C-alpha cells in the first residue's frame, strides 16, 4: 500500500493534526510545528508533545514530516533574516526531535540578486552551523524549487553542490516536489519522461538520498518556472503523468500532497484520485 497523505493544519493543539490526517484517510502526513508566517513561537509543552507521539503510534500514521516556516531564507544576504533563519532551523530540528518527527523539509531560499555562488555559500554555512547544535536524530530534506527568479535549488546539480559542501552530508536527504520539478524543466508527463528524470536524479544525487515526494500537479507548463500547485491530474502534468509517477520507482517513497484548498476538489477526492491512478481502487 502507498504511504500517502497531506500537509495538515496544527490549529488548536499540535496533536490535533494527527486526528485531521486520520480523518482524511492518510497513513502519513506533514505539518508545520509552529505558525509558519512568524518568527516567534511558543515552546511545546510536555502534554501536547506526549499526546502527539501517542496518537502517531496509535494510528500508525508515519513517517511524519515537518516543514520549515515560510519566513526562513537560508540563502539571504540580509544579516537579520539570515541569522533568524539559522536560529529557526536549529529550533525546528529540536522541536522535531522532541516530537519524534524524523524528517524536516526546507526550501533553499533566494539569493535576492547576489548570485548563486553566494547563495550556495550561505546555505552550506547555515546548515553546518545548525548541525553543530543538534543531536543528529532528525534528517534535513532539501526541497527542489520551481526555478523562480533568484531561487536556489531548482536543479539536481545545485542540490548536490550544497550536499557536497556539508560537514555532515549523512544528515541530509532530498524532498522531490513534482510541481516544482516540472516547472523547472524536468518532464514528468509520461512513463519515459518519469524514468528519465529519476535516472538523472540518481546519477546526480543518488536515489538513496530521496526520502519524500511532494505530489502536486503544476499550474504552469514544462519549464515555465511558475511555482503554482494544482489538483492531481488537473494541471499540466496530468493524469497520464501521475499514473507514470505512481507506477515508477518513486512508488516506494511516502507521498505528501500540498494541493489547493478550493471548491473544485476536496482533499479526500485528491487522495481517491491518487489511489485510483496507483491501481489501489
Catalytic residue among 95, 180, 209, 211: 180
Q: What would the mean pLDDT of 79-92 be, rounded to a whole number?
A: 98
For the entire predicted model, the pTM comes to: 0.97
Name the active-site residue from 15, 143, 158, 230.
143
231 is known as an active-site residue: no
Average pLDDT, integer, range 70-95: 97
> What's the rounded mean pLDDT across residues 264-270?
97
pLDDT bucket at 107, cuts 50 / 70 / 90: very high
The whole-chain average pLDDT of the chain stands at 97
Residue 37 a catalytic site member: yes
Residue 275 is among the residues annotated as catalytic for this protein: no
CA distances from 152 to 29, 84, 143 (A): 25, 18, 10
Those residues with Cβ within 8 angstroms of residue 94's Cβ, 6 or more apart along the chain or in another chain: 134
Span 26-58, pLDDT tens digits:
999 999 999 999 999 999 999 999 999 999 999
**Domains in the chain with CATH codes:** 4-277 (3.20.20.150)
Separation of alpha carbons 65 and 76, rounded Å: 24
pLDDT tens track for 166-220: 999 999 999 999 999 999 999 999 999 999 999 999 999 999 999 999 999 999 9
Beta pairing, strands 229-230 & 217-218: antiparallel
CA distance 63 to 3: 9
Spatial contact of 277 and 239, defined as CB atoms under 8 Å apart: yes
| pLDDT category of residue 133 using cuts at 50, 70 and 90 | confident
Is position 258 annotated as part of the catalytic site? yes
Picking from 222, 225, 232, the residue whose alpha carbon sits closest to that of residue 257 is 232
Pairwise pLDDT comparison (137 vs 22), residue with the higher score:
22
Gap between the Cα atoms of 124 and 111, Å rounded: 13
| Residue 229: active-site member | yes
Selecting among 107, 111, 161, 265, the annotated active-site residue is 107
- Identify whether the C-beta of residue 209 lies closer than 8 Å to the C-beta of residue 163: yes
State the Cα angle at 1 between 231 and 137, rounded to 5°: 85
At 72 the pLDDT is 98
Q: How many residues does the chain have?
A: 281
The question of whether 182 is a catalytic residue gets the answer no
Query: In the predicted model, is pLDDT for residue 1 greater than 90?
Result: no
Is 239 among the catalytic positions?
Answer: no
Q: Smallest Cα–Cα separation from 176: which of 199, 210, 150?
A: 210
Residue 247: active-site member: no
The residue annotated as part of the active site, out of 70, 133, 203, 251, is 70
- Is 111 assigned a catalytic role? no
186 is catalytic: no
User: How far apart are the C-alpha atoms of 227 and 237, rounded to whole Å?
Assistant: 13
Active site residue 180: yes
Q: Which of 161, 214, 243, 265 is catalytic?
A: 214
| Cα distance between residue 207 and residue 71, in whole Å | 29
* pLDDT tens digits, one per residue of 206-256: 999 999 999 999 999 999 999 999 999 999 999 999 999 999 999 999 999
Q: How confident is the model at residue 134 (pLDDT cuts 50, 70, 90)?
A: confident
Q: Which neighbouring-strand residues pair with 176?
A: 213
Amino acid at each position: 500500500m502507498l504511504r500517502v497523505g497531506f500537509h495538515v493544519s496544527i490549529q488548536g493543539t499540535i496533536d490535533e493534526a494527527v486526528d485531521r490526517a486520520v480523518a482524511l484517510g492518510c497513513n502519513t502526513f506533514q505539518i508545520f510545528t509552529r505558525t509558519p508566517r512568524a518568527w516567534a513561537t511558543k515552546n511545546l509543552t510536555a502534554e501536547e508533545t506526549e499526546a502527539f507521539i501517542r496518537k502517531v503510534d496509535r494510528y500508525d500514521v508515519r513517517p511524519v514530516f515537518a516543514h520549515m516556516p515560510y519566513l526562513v531564507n537560508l540563502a539571504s544576504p540580509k544579516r537579520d533574516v539570515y541569522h533568524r533563519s539559522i536560529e529557526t532551523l536549529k529550533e525546528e530540528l529540536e522541536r522535531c526531535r522532541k516530537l519524534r518527527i524524523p524528517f524536516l523539509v526546507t526550501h533553499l531560499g533566494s539569493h535576492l540578486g547576489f548570485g548563486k555562488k553566494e547563495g550556495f555559500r550561505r546555505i552550506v554555512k547555515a546548515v553546518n552551523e545548525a548541525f553543530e547544535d543538534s543531536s543528529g536524530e532528525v534528517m534535513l530534506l532539501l526541497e527542489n524549487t520551481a526555478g523562480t527568479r533568484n531561487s536556489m535549488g531548482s536543479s539536481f546539480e545545485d542540490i548536490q553542490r550544497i550536499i557536497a559542501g556539508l560537514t555532515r552530508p549523512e544528515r541530509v536527504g532530498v524532498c522531490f516536489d513534482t510541481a516544482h520539478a516540472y516547472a523547472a524543466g524536468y518532464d514528468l508527463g509520461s512513463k519515459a519522461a518519469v524514468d528519465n528524470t529519476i535516472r538523472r536524479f540518481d546519477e546526480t544525487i543518488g536515489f538513496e538520498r530521496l526520502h519524500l515526494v511532494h505530489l502536486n500537479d503544476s499550474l504552469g507548463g514544462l519549464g515555465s518556472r511558475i511555482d503554482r500547485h494544482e489538483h492531481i491530474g488537473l494541471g499540466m502534468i496530468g493524469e497520464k503523468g501521475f499514473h507514470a509517477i505512481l507506477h515508477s520507482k518513486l512508488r516506494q517513497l511516502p507521498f505528501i500532497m500540498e494541493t489547493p484548498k478550493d471548491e473544485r476538489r476536496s482533499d479526500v477526492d485528491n487522495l481517491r484520485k491518487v489511489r485510483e491512478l496507483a491501481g489501489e481502487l
